[in-house]
């Protein structure tokens, strides 16, 4: 018996070898995502950007409901909980947020609704679903999330410690502690805009140490993701060789 629901699931998921309907759908969604970002390259809204927003939002809305409809296949179990669980996944949340910007086209513009236009950026994350490379990277990030979280905590702690030290040693250099956090962040990332520069020897010493330590700390996430990515690639190669 032909399972219509299952076929929808097969089409909207990443295309498999020989499934031209699924490949065409992937191309349609990828093109729609790219086109939907065009209004962000323009300063003002016009009739063309309005129709781009309406058309792409309708496509995104259909895609969103189709994915909810087939969530039981996606999540691997038949229950209403599968639909709820899917709606709470990161990509499903991005899908929902990417549809919201169309609201401001049909309502009186306020400062709050104006922010909805920024939600278009969430559409970029939808591309991860249609690229096999991005799928691999997202799987890698998910597998090494604990290590990445540990590094993130280390970075945040180091930024706060550096900010507190420099804030106490050179209080006249900063208007607030937030300025000290800003200085610590650009120092640890070795960007060094130069808009806030310590003037005392001890302050400059802290800046030098922060920059040197920053090179090592910022390199950690890159190394972790790279190692995980190579491990994932090697696993796929071994699978194909077998």
- Grouped pLDDT means (10 residues each) for the chain, 242 residues: 77 73 86 86 80 88 90 81 86 84 66 67 77 73 84 88 86 84 82 73 82 80 82 70 56
Q: What is the pLDDT of residue 107?
A: 66
Minimal CA–CA distance to 162: which of 150, 152, 175, 154? 154
Domain boundaries, the chain: 4-130, 145-241
Cα-based torsion angle of the residue sequence 175, 178, 183, 188 in order, rounded to the nearest 10 degrees: 160
CATH classification for the domain delimited by 4-130, as one of 3.40.50.12160, 3.30.70.3420, 1.20.120.350, 1.20.1250.20: 1.20.120.350
Q: What is the pLDDT of residue 240?
A: 56
- Phi, psi (degrees; rounded to nearest 5) at 3: -100, 100
Q: What is the pLDDT of residue 30?
A: 87
Q: What is the pLDDT of residue 9?
A: 85
Q: What is the pLDDT of residue 18?
A: 72
Burial of residue 223 (CB within 10 Å: 0-12, 13-18, 19+) is exposed
Q: What is the pLDDT of residue 15?
A: 60
Q: What is the pLDDT of residue 109?
A: 56
CA distance linking residue 56 with residue 221, whole number of Å: 35
Architecture of domain 145-241: Orthogonal Bundle (1.10)
Minimal CA–CA distance to 168: which of 202, 217, 192, 138? 202
Record the tokens describing residue 226, joined without a space: 């790279």
pTM of the model as a whole? 0.65
Q: What is the pLDDT of residue 10?
A: 84
Q: DSSP secondary structure string, the chain? A: ---HHHHHHHHHSSPPTT-HHHHHHHHHHHHHHHHHTGGGG-SS--HHHHHHHHHHHHHHHHHHHHHHHTHHHHHTS-SHHHHHHHHTSHHHHHHHHHHGGGGGGSS---HHHHGGGGGGGGHHHHGGGG-HHHHHHHHHHHHTHHHHHHHHHHHHHHHHHHHHHHHHH-GGG-SSHHHHHHHHHHHHTT---SSS---SHHHHHHHHHHHHHHHHHHHHHHHHHHHHHHHHHHHHHHHHH-
Do residues 137 and 229 lie in contact, with contact meaning Cβ atoms separated by under 8 Å? Answer: yes
Distances (CA, A) of 167 to 65, 162, 190: 51, 8, 19
Helix 47-69 vs helix 90-99: crossing angle, to nearest 10 = 150
Do residues 227 and 135 lie in contact, with contact meaning Cβ atoms separated by under 8 Å? Answer: no
Each residue's pLDDT tens digit, 59-86: 988 999 999 988 888 887 777 788 888 8
Task: Quickly count: other Cβ atoms within 10 Å of residue 48's Cβ.
Answer: 11
Each residue's pLDDT tens digit, 13-40: 766 667 788 888 888 888 998 898 888 7
């Amino acid at each position: 018996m032909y399972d219509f629901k299952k076929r929808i699931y097969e089409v909207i998921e990443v295309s498999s070898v020989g499934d031209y309907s699924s490949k065409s759908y992937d191309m349609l969604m990828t093109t729609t995502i790219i086109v939907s970002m065009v209004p962000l390259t323009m300063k003002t809204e016009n009739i063309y950007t309005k129709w781009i927003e309406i058309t792409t939002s309708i496509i995104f809305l259909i895609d969103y409901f189709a994915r909810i409809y087939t969530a039981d296949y996606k999540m691997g179990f038949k229950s209403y909980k599968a639909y709820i669980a899917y709606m709470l996944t990161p990509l499903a949340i991005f899908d929902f947020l990417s549809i919201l910007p169309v609201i401001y086209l049909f309502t009186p513009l306020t400062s709050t609704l104006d922010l909805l236009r920024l939600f278009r950026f969430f559409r970029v994350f939808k591309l991860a679903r249609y690229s096999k490379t991005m799928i691999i990277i997202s799987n890698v990030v998910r597998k090494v999330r604990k290590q990445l979280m540990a590094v993130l905590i280390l970075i945040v702690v180091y930024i706060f410690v550096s900010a507190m030290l420099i804030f106490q040693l050179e209080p006249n250099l900063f208007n607030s502690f937030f300025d000290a956090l800003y200085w610590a962040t650009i120092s640890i990332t070795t960007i060094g805009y130069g808009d806030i520069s310590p003037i005392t020897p001890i302050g400059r010493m802290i800046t030098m140490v922060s920059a040197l330590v920053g090179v090592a700390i910022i390199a950690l996430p890159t190394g972790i993701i790279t190692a995980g990515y190579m491990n994932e690639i090697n696993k796929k190669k071994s699978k194909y060789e077998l």
